[in-house]
A = this chain, B = another copy of it.
């Protein structure tokens, strides 16, 4: 499981680099599917991961508004900040009490910690798949989604 976080975080950073090819208008332009534009997709990935991780840590949700993070630099900086916070406890979060039921303020149902960790991982990969289509529509090559052949930076190094 932790390897999937390492994969997602590395691919995410490659997409942040890729985004520097685009103008601010292209990053925010309305597109069909997903959450509707490139920058908001990255913001949404960061926001959702952080909210769920705080929930499984028993911490109160912190709500971020995209209106406050409207540039590539701001979203990248938010991602870096929240990720270093997540990285500290992640190994423990992943290994302990997998079947513990978690209640979150934005959903009526309860889910196990293990289910939530799977959800965070699949959520990011799914949205990155959407970015790859939009990239081709912009006549750019997308970031590689290959898991194999990557040297993954360890969670402990974030």
Which A residues have a C-beta under 8 Å from some C-beta of B? 3-4, 7, 31-34, 107, 109, 111, 114-116, 118-119, 121-123, 125-130, 132-137, 142, 145-149
A115 vs B151: C-alpha distance when bound (angstroms): 11
Counting every copy of the chain, the complex holds 2
Give the contacting residue for A119; candidates B114, B123, B148; CB below 8 A.
Answer: B148
Across-interface contacts of A136 in B (CB, < 8 A): 32-34
Across-interface contacts of A128 in B (CB, < 8 A): 126, 129
Dominant secondary structure at the A interface: helix
Tell me the smallest distance from the CB of A154 to a CB of chain B, in Å: 15
A125-B129, A128-B129, A130-B130 as given contacts; A135 in contact with B4, CB under 8 Å: no
Tell me the smallest distance from the CB of A81 to a CB of chain B, in Å: 25
Give the contacting residue for A115; candidates B114, B121, B123, B147; CB below 8 A.
Answer: B147
Tell me the smallest distance from the CB of A30 to a CB of chain B, in Å: 12
A32 vs B119: C-alpha distance when bound (angstroms): 27
A104 vs B89: C-alpha distance when bound (angstroms): 37
A118 vs B123: C-alpha distance when bound (angstroms): 15
Across-interface contacts of A148 in B (CB, < 8 A): 107, 109, 111, 115-116, 119
A125-B126, A126-B125, A148-B111 as given contacts; A34 in contact with B133, CB under 8 Å: yes
Give the contacting residue for A129; candidates B3, B31, B127; CB below 8 A.
Answer: B127
B34 touches A109 (CB 8 A): no
